[in-house]
């Protein structure tokens, strides 16, 4: 398939593949353990696994945008920071 009209690059494909993989894993997790494991964390309101995934994806997007704005290219460190942020969200939120 020719996706050149969408300006797909390898990093873009990996990025979207990662998001699709996260969603598939969350669907499988929800199938085997329904209910989303709601809990009250540091935000002081009840969140489920899906909420925490959304918060981590949104925060990671802002981390990457801030990295591009303040540092420039070379997003590997922003990716590492995003992974640490995601682990923190799933453990504390």
User: Residue ranges per domain, the chain?
Assistant: 4-92
Which pLDDT does position 35 carry in this prediction? 81
Q: pLDDT tens digits for 22-80?
A: 999 999 998 998 887 899 999 899 999 989 999 999 999 999 999 999 998 888 899 99
Which pLDDT does position 13 carry in this prediction? 82
Task: Please state the pTM of the whole predicted model.
Answer: 0.80
Are residues 48 and 37 in contact, defined by beta-carbon separation less than 8 angstroms? yes
Q: Are strands 46-47 and 39-40 parallel, antiparallel or unpaired?
A: antiparallel
Which of 58, 48, 47, 65 minimizes the C-alpha distance to 19? 58
């Amino acid at each position: 398939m020719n996706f050149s009209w969408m300006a797909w690059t390898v990093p873009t494909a990996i990025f979207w593949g990662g998001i699709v993989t996260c969603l598939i894993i969350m669907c499988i997790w929800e199938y085997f353990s329904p209910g989303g494991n709601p809990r009250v964390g540091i935000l002081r309101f009840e969140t489920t696994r899906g909420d925490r995934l959304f918060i981590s994806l949104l925060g990671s997007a802002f981390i990457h945008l801030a990295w591009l704005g303040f540092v420039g290219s070379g997003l590997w460190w922003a990716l590492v920071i995003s992974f640490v942020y995601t682990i923190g969200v799933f453990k504390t939120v």
